[in-house]
A and B are shown apart, each in its own frame.
Chain A
Amino acid sequence: MTGVRVAGVGLTHFGKHPERTGRDLFAEASQRAFEDAGVPRADVEQLNYGNFMGELSEHQGHQGPLMAEAAGLTAPATRYESACASSGVAVREAVKDIRNGEADVTLVGGAERMNNLGTAGTTEALAIAADDLYEVRAGMTFPAAYALMARAYFDKYGGSGEDLAEIAVKNHDNALDNEFAQFQRAITVEDALDAPTIADPLGLYDACPITDGASAAVLVSDEYAEEHDLDAPVSVTGTGQGGDKMALQDRQFLARTPAAERAAEEAYDDAGIGPRDVSVAEVHDCFTIAEVLALEALDFYAPGEGIGAAARGETTRDGDRPVNLSGGLKAKGHPVGATGTSQVVEMTRLLRGDHPNSDAVPGPVGVTHNAGGTVASTTVHVLEVEE
């Protein structure tokens, strides 16, 4: 089985681009990825593309071939939809295809256009990632769903709004020097605690913003990288995916995310590592409580012990295992279909040393964690710098 190298990566600025189409955003991200990779477009054998709400936000389905065209490809293209884990799944399928010899060169990525829907429209569009009969008809929104999980967590394990605020502060700090981030400004714990409530116990600063943006990565086989003498020091060495019941009410746990636990275990086994080997992580912090659930699912902490990690300085940039050095979804932004691949993009830059926060990376092993819905679907990837 061949190894999988990240040959090149690209992002657009994540933020408000309501007048730019998804195809324009993806064209820009993929252009950057090709320039970074030094791989000719003609060598690309397939596009794996993630997008969630294109029908609602752009009146555009069938985005695979459209985005191949935008990227300048004639290769077959498939859209993957798995809510906010859409392009994490796209990465996983690309890794599997390269490993099993189906392809030597793939373009993976994703894009989402959200700001043109406005806050109410985006709230409605995101809600369709929840169960329509059991949850949406009861007035559940995504902030509400994570608020339900946060209260269940506090009730079972303890924790406070201040613990969550520390996570927001950390991720804003990490985004300060990231030119692709939506928010390049610091906030304080007081700012977060004083912000308007969205769905208690979650306030405005516990939530990621509404974001437009795109991400892309060129993945190649070891053989292709060697034949073409590519400078591609980072490999995807592990991939895992987990699933769970769609509705929170049908889950065994309201304060744990077993889908992510299963994805992490699979990815660790695949890479031949354990959680103690991980130096740095990019996790799906769509809400601050989601970062806590991710840290525990990745087995960096036992259930109930991840809540204080940011406050204790363990996941900050000078901590033992920095988390979300990109700024995370919280500050970098969350164009939902682009997020999974954007985590791989940021991790690649962090590990190979050309990210503004690379100096905070304490070791050669990174993990990305991308969650769909209320973690009814999850992908986890392990990235490592080759010796």
Chain B
Amino acid sequence: MSDESGEADRVRDEGFDDFLDAIESGEGFYLECPEGHGSLPPRRVCPHCGATDLEHVALPETGEIETYTTVHVAAPEFADDAPYVTAVADFGAVRLTGQLRELDAGELDVGTEVTVGIGESETADERVLAFRPR
């Protein structure tokens, strides 16, 4: 979201932006409940079983692309980014949704191994979860 001047006006979201900070510094994590279910912050309850004691666990370095698409018609926030590739990648206990970097859709397949880091959207200069080839 941006205001009339085009300046970003998004307020920092403690849980989620802490998560992005961690990914950015190479210390990505997810939340794990005693049953081993994974989820992402902000979260106080395991979405799979309802447990409330969630611990930070290191995110695996490598994930696998599970599905992807090239977005040609974007929302205004990503207007200048289009076309871009949005993908869902499986990191074991959690899946992440992010954008593909350094690879064309043609070089990508279900099962392609990727790492996750932070990229920036061209349109709004916002941080975006970014997948890169491993």
Residues of A within 8 A of B (CB): 119-121, 123-124, 127, 133-141, 143-144, 147-149, 151-152, 155, 196-202, 245, 247-250, 254
Sort A-B residue pairs by CB-CB distance and give the 6 closest, nearest first: A147-B69, A249-B95, A124-B75, A152-B67, A199-B69, A138-B97
> Is the CB–CB distance between B97 and A248 below 8 Å?
yes
Of B84, B97, B110, which is within 8 A of A247 by CB? B97
Q: Using Cβ atoms and an 8 Å threshold, which residues of chain A touch B71?
A: 139-141, 143-144, 198-199
Q: Other than A250-B47, A250-B95, give 9 A-B pairs with Cβ distance below 8 A.
A: A138-B97, A139-B99, A143-B71, A147-B69, A155-B67, A198-B71, A198-B73, A248-B88, A250-B39
The answer on a CB contact under 8 Å between B66 and A245 is no
A254 touches B16 (CB 8 A): no
Residues of B62-105 whose CB lies within 8 A of A: 66-79, 81, 84, 86-88, 94-99, 105
What chain B residues lie within 8 Å of A134 (beta carbons)?
A: 40, 96-97
Within 8 A of A (CB), among B111-133: 121, 126, 128-129
B75 to A, closest residue via Cβ:
A124
Cβ of B4 under 8 Å from chain A: no
Give the residues in chain B near A121, CB-CB below 8 Å. 76
B35 within 8 A of A: no
Known: A124-B77, A245-B47. A144 touches B67 (CB 8 A): no
B40 CB → nearest A CB, Å = 7
Cβ-closest chain A residue relative to B76: A120
Q: Does the CB pair A199–B16 fall under 8 Å?
A: no
Q: Are B126 and A137 in contact (CB under 8 A)?
A: yes
- Kindly list chain B residues whose C-beta atoms are within 8 Å of the C-beta of A140: 71, 86, 97
A151 and B67 within 8 A (CB): yes
Residues of A within 8 A of B98 (CB): 138
Enumerate chain B interface residues (CB-CB to A < 8 A): 13, 16, 39-40, 42, 47, 66-79, 81, 84, 86-88, 94-99, 105, 110, 121, 126, 128-129
A302 CB, nearest partner CB in chain B, Å: 21
In the complex, the answer to whether A254 meets B86 with C-beta atoms within 8 Å is no
Q: Which residues of A contact B128 (CB under 8 A)?
A: 137-139
A135 contacts B67, C-beta separation under 8 Å: no
Give B37 Cβ to nearest chain A Cβ, in Å.
Answer: 10
Whether the pair A148, B99 counts as a contact (CB closer than 8 A) is no
Interchain CA distance A140-B86 in the complex, whole Å: 7
Q: Would you call B75 and A120 a contact (CB within 8 A)? A: yes
Known: A148-B68, A249-B88, A254-B66. A141 touches B99 (CB 8 A): no
Taking A138-B86, A139-B81 as contacts, is the C-beta distance between A148 and B69 under 8 angstroms? yes
Which residues of A are found within 8 Å of B87, using beta-carbon distances? 148
Nearest-neighbour CB distance to chain B for A259, whole angstroms, equals: 14
Question: A residues within 8 A CB of B67?
Answer: 148-149, 151-152, 155, 254
A sample of 18 cross-chain residue pairs with beta-carbon separation below 8 angstroms, ordered by A number, consists of: A123-B75, A127-B75, A138-B129, A139-B71, A139-B74, A139-B86, A139-B128, A140-B97, A141-B73, A141-B74, A148-B87, A151-B68, A197-B70, A199-B70, A199-B71, A200-B72, A201-B69, A247-B97
Identify the interface centre among B39, B66, B75: most chain A CB within 10 Å of its CB.
B75
Chain B residues, Cβ within 8 Å of A155: 67, 110
Q: Do residues A249 and B75 form an inter-chain contact, with CB atoms below 8 A?
A: no
Within 8 Å CB of A202, what residues of B? 69
Residues of B within 8 A of A135 (CB): 97
Chain A residues whose C-beta falls within 8 Å of the C-beta of B97 in the assembled complex: 134-135, 138, 140, 247-249
Residue of B with least CB distance to A207: B73
Report the minimum CB–CB distance from A100 to chain B (whole Å).
29
Q: Give the distance to chain B from A377, nearest Cβ to Cβ, in Å.
A: 16
What CA separation (Å) do A109 and B75 show in the bound complex? Answer: 29
User: Nearest A residue to B17 by beta-carbon distance?
Assistant: A133
Contact of B73 among A123, A133, A137, A148 (CB under 8 A): A123
Q: Please give, as numbers and ranges, the residues of chain B lying within 8 Å of A141 by CB-CB distance.
A: 71, 73-75
Q: CB distance A199 to B110 under 8 Å?
A: no
Task: Select from chain A the residue with minimum beta-carbon distance to B73.
Answer: A198
> B88–A148 contact, CB under 8 A?
yes
Residue from B79, B84, B99 in contact with A120 in the complex, judged by beta carbons closer than 8 Å? B79
Q: Which residue of B lies closest to A201 (CB)?
A: B69
Chain A: minimal CB distance from B130 (Å): 9
